[in-house]
Amino acid sequence: MKVLIAYSSRTGNTKKVCDAAYDEIKELAEVDYMKVKDVKSTADYDLIVVGFWVDKGTANKKAKQFIEGIRETKVALLGTLGAPPDSFHGDKCRQNVKELVDSSNEYLGVRLARGLVDPKLTKMIKFLPLNKEIREQMYQSSITSREPNEEELQEVRAFIKDSL
């Protein structure tokens, strides 16, 4: 079984989640683990796992384009976001990334973990030209955000093992 784990991560949260996934299956399959930008071809993999960070409710641009290009294999997604994964926003994100996966693939699902929001972004939120309620929600998610925790990493490990 040949597996590709490809990720995009600005500040390390998504890499942490993908490291856990890689660690879980590296002895169980032939696994290539790299950044999305370093992937030369997606052909010949039995399973492709893509790690993304949430940018405005969907996968960040690099990961989004990569996911959209995958054809005729099994696809599992792993994402991190500032908001709690079990929120309405988390549900929206799960729905949005599912729609990026081409129908020629077998979509195995997505697992989301929280990711600490870059403090530079948290400072900027107050000045964004957004509806006051949305801005306040974003600010609250950011100041309460944290790195992925052990429970979330455990869920990711189980999901990726099941995906094999």
Ligand X SMILES: Cc1cc2nc3c(=O)[nH]c(=O)nc-3n(C[C@H](O)[C@H](O)[C@H](O)COP(=O)(O)O)c2cc1C
The answer to whether residue 11 forms part of the interface with ligand X (CB under 6 A) is yes
Residue closest to ligand X, measured at CB: 115
Instruction: Report how far residue 74's alpha carbon sits from residue 3's, in angstroms, rounded to the nearest whole number.
Output: 10
The answer to whether residue 117 forms part of the interface with ligand X (CB under 6 A) is yes
Residues from 59 through 88 that contact ligand X (CB under 6 A)? 80-83
Around Cβ 40, how many Cβ atoms within 10 Å? 7
Smallest separation (angstroms) from ligand X to the CB of 163: 20
DSSP character string of 2-33: EEEEEE--SSSHHHHHHHHHHHHHTTTSEEEE
Comparison of 121 and 164: residue with beta carbon closer to ligand X: 121
Around Cβ 95, how many Cβ atoms within 10 Å? 12
Comparison of 63 and 73: residue with beta carbon closer to ligand X: 63
Pick the stretch among 8-16, 38-46, 96-104, 125-133 that binds ligand X (CB under 6 A): 8-16
Strands (E), 82-138: 106-114
Quick one: CA dihedral 103, 8, 56, 12, positive or negative? positive
Comparison of 57 and 69: residue with beta carbon closer to ligand X: 57
Residues at the contact surface with ligand X, assessed by CB under 6 A? 9-14, 53-57, 80-83, 89, 115, 117-118, 121, 141
